[in-house]
Structure 1
């Protein structure tokens, strides 16, 4: 320990920056007089935890009230708080955040949990937050009221994540977004049963490159509008059973999209993402596509088996709109429960992408049901350029693996070089 203590302060602070939390870094002060105040030079501060006991939270409040104003680092790169607002008062958090902002803060991450019923939504954010020139990353989660003033200006903000926060009114989010000129990454996770969020969700950000939107089952929302011409990654999880409109402008630079949509009509969404190269989709709402919807850049398609519940014809409809598809995967997306397909009507025609371009086909959690087998056999029979067909069996299958493999191995294949791999 003496040899380490003889190292320069800058190097010791660097070593402390690798410990998991600031609490652990503070605990090193008991090692010797040499280490007593080193933690106060740390540029990254991480405090609290979700399951913090009352006594521990009280000690944390007292510690931050007394020690944070005395922190010696001239620049605080990141400040993270995970707290319970039933114990910590809003004015305490407001003061702590204001202190961090005064040190050229680059990243602010606050997660606030409330076990009261109904939960409170305090305004814990100081007004200085909305004019911070150095702030590049802002993450807010939980029972936080977001009330954006009229003079907001965040010229350096590139990443914004809003998870289950409450908005002061319908204009709050758009006012914030319209004053973030270099914003690149946005996540909006709207709360379930949040009557305050009723209205229209508008995301109009010319600089945005990544957008993730989560809408829950009973979200009281009139609809959403998206204008993001520079977008490269788009994720939409729309499980809202309440009808709402969708208006999405063209995304000509889109590379990857993930769509998990329960009831919303996909036509308006498909029309905006026709340039996508990688698409993952889970939806039973695919109907006959408009003739002008053509995915002329799509090379990789991942389809959740939920999409095939009503009919596998939906998959064929989607494949007809692709012309360059090289890879097709069928699987259950995260936390989706395996279930059987309803029917499989043998198509009278074969989509051109299957005949001319498809090189890779895979099926995860394959159960060997007749409808599933017929779909796999259909692709093996018609995909002339198929190189690999990978089948991964489901643990819940009622059909023996050996029987599944035998059925598929004996099925006709259009590609003489296709390798059938079974797990």
Structure 2
């Protein structure tokens, strides 16, 4: 211990940053040299123990007594995870207030426990000029005041929080002038009315609407967006208004909507697209920049939808089939694969890679695989990964190996 104590404060702080905050604080009993050293830590991570009232009480006492005395001029990262009822809203609010007053750059609050009064965010959080990353998860009440200014915020994640009223979210977003990364996971068994996301600077948007969430509609205006993930599983049909996103490069779409024209029309410029949906595609849509297409079983088992996707993607280079989530359909409800009378342009000119995970060898899958092998002239590799199935793997492999191939250079790999 004497050797370590001879190190400079700067080196000791770097060592303390490598261990949990709880451990770093415990070093204060080692000697006078160590008593206040932890108070200069620029990164703090506090978590109460699930089901341990003793630990939770200690954390509450510690935060109330010591956190206001923290000496680091800048708190680079402050995380507080609440798993039991010992921490009261006033304790949480004071912790956040302290972090903000120390020019916090990253703030993460996770509250897994129901609070009768979940107003745990101080108003000065919404005017923190240094905050770059903000993550709020769980039982947190978001009541955004009129005076909002987050000039440095680039990353915002809001997961299952409660919004004070319609317009709360957009008021917050409209005062984040350089926001680039946004994750919105709406709360189950909740109603958000109309969801509006208008952020000119945004480059990445992930939006999750659960099945039991009641929503009237979604408006998205993000002209600089490059990356888009949408899980819209809401049971209630609603409108979707999306302005054109000309710089969008990658998108993943899973929706239950009946009208998808606005949605599909806004993502036609993508280079990489993942689809897990039974959505209908208008034949006028063209994905002329699409290079990689990942398709879920619920889409490609409906033969018309798969054919339309391939037909609309004239420059497609990679085609990937997989089960992206659990489904409630049965094979008996699926369309038979009726071989189209024409061949999509991508198979004749650009398709080079076929990757099929969870292949079962079931007749509908086999017919689709054989069709692709027979018509893809420039295919280089076809990788088939088999899952547990009634069809033996040796039989699956033999069927595909004996099928005709348009590309003599194609390597068929079976795993």
Q: TM-score if structure 2 supplies the norm length?
A: 0.96
- Residue in structure 2 matching 1:136, options 106, 118, 132: 132
Closer, same or farther in 2 for the Cα pair 1:4/1:335, shift >3 Å? Answer: farther
Q: Hey, what's the Cα distance between the residues in 1 that align with 2:199 and 2:273? A: 22
Q: How does 1:65-84 map to 2 (within 5 A)?
A: 65-84=64-83
Q: Does structure 1 residue 152 correspond to structure 2 residue 148? A: yes
Q: How does 1:168-317 map to 2 (within 5 A)?
A: 168-195=164-191, 197=192, 199-285=193-279, 287-291=280-284, 293-309=285-301, 311-317=302-308
Closer, same or farther in 2 for the Cα pair 1:18/1:365, shift >3 Å? Answer: same
Closer, same or farther in 2 for the Cα pair 1:107/1:250, shift >3 Å? Answer: same
Instruction: Give the match's secondary structure for 1:108.
Output: strand
Q: Does structure 1 residue 402 correspond to structure 2 residue 398? A: no
Per-residue deviation, 1:307 = 1.4
* Structure 2 residue aligned with 1:15: 15
Closer, same or farther in 2 for the Cα pair 1:46/1:231, shift >3 Å? Answer: same
Per-residue deviation, 1:224 = 0.2
Closer, same or farther in 2 for the Cα pair 1:85/1:347, shift >3 Å? Answer: same
Corresponding pairs, count: 413
Instruction: Give the match's secondary structure for 2:170.
Output: helix
Q: Does structure 1 residue 124 correspond to structure 2 residue 120? A: yes
Instruction: Give the match's secondary structure for 1:283.
Output: coil
Cα distance per residue 1:172-218 (max 9 Å; x no partner) = 000000000000000111011113x2x11000000000000000112
Cα distance per residue 1:27-83 (max 9 Å; x no partner) = 233444432322111001100146252221111000000000111111111111101
Per-residue deviation, 1:85 = 6.2
Q: How does 1:101-120 map to 2 (within 5 A)?
A: 101-114=100-113, 120=116
Q: Hey, what's the Cα distance between the residues in 1 that align with 2:183 and 2:362? A: 39
Instruction: Give the match's secondary structure for 1:390.
Output: strand
* Structure 1 residue aligned with 2:356: 363
Closer, same or farther in 2 for the Cα pair 1:299/1:225, shift >3 Å? Answer: same
Q: Hey, what's the Cα distance between the residues in 1 that align with 2:58 and 2:170? A: 38
Report which stretch shifted further, 382-391 or 32-41.
32-41
* Structure 1 residue aligned with 2:378: 385
Q: Hey, what's the Cα distance between the residues in 1 that align with 2:328 and 2:129? A: 46
Q: Hey, what's the Cα distance between the residues in 2 that align with 1:272 and 1:50? A: 45
- CA RMSD, aligned part only? 1.6
Per-residue deviation, 1:288 = 4.1
Q: Does structure 1 residue 166 correspond to structure 2 residue 154? A: no
